[in-house]
Structure 1
Amino acid sequence: MKSTTRGTLAAVVTGIAAAVGATATPAAAAVPTVPVPVPLDGVSKSLHTEVPQLGLEMPLIIPGAPEGPRYVQGRLLPEQVLPQVPLNGALPGANLRTPLPHLVGQGFDHLSLDAPASALRAVSPGLAAKAPLTPPNPGNAGLPALTTPALGVIAPVLQTVPGADLGLGPGL
Structure 2
Amino acid sequence: MKSTPRTLAAVVAGVAAAMGAAAAPAAAVGTVPVPVPLEAAEKNLDMELPSLSGEIPLPRPGKPDGPQFVEGRLLPARTIPQVPLTGGLPGAGLRAPVPHVLGDDFDHIGVGVPAADLRTLAPGLSVDAPLTRPNPDHMGLPDTKLPQAGILAPALQTVPGADLAMGPGL
Among 121, 126, 132, the residue aligned to 2:119: 121
Unpaired runs of 5+ in structure 1? 1-28
Uncovered stretches (5+) of structure 2, i.e. residues with no partner: 1-26
SS of match in other structure, 1:139: helix
Letter in 1 for 2:47: T
Deviations 1:47-69 (A, max 9, x none): 22221101111101110111221
- The amino acid of 1:144's aligned partner reads P
Provide the secondary structure at the position in 2 that maps to 1:158: strand
1:101 CA drift (Å): 2.6
Which of 63, 73, 76 matches 2:74? Answer: 76
TM-score by length of 2: 0.76
Query: After superposition, what is the alpha-carbon deviation per residue over 1:77-96, rounded to whole angstroms, capped at 9, x for unaligned?
Result: 11011101111222211111
Mark the CA change 1:85 to 1:67 in structure 2 (over 3 Å): closer, same or farther. same
Query: Percent identity of the aligned residues?
Result: 58
Q: Quick one: which amino acid aligns to residue 127 of structure 1?
A: L
CA distance in 2, matches of 1:158, 1:52: 34
Q: In angstroms, what is the RMSD of aligned CA positions?
A: 2.0
CA distance in 1, matches of 2:163, 2:28: 20
Corresponding position of 1:87: 85
Quick one: which amino acid aligns to residue 148 of structure 2?
A
User: Which structure 1 residue ranges, 4+ long, deviate > 6 Å from structure 2?
Assistant: none
Greater shift, 121-130 or 98-107, is seen at 98-107
Q: Which residue of 2 aligns with 1:140?
A: 138
Aligned length: 144
AA matched with 1:55: S
Who is 1:37 aligned against?
35
Of Structure 1 and Structure 2, the greater strand share is in 2
Q: Is the 8 A contact 1:90 1:117 kept in 2?
A: yes
Provide the C-alpha distance between the structure 2 equivalents of 1:147 and 1:42, rounded to a whole number of angstroms: 73
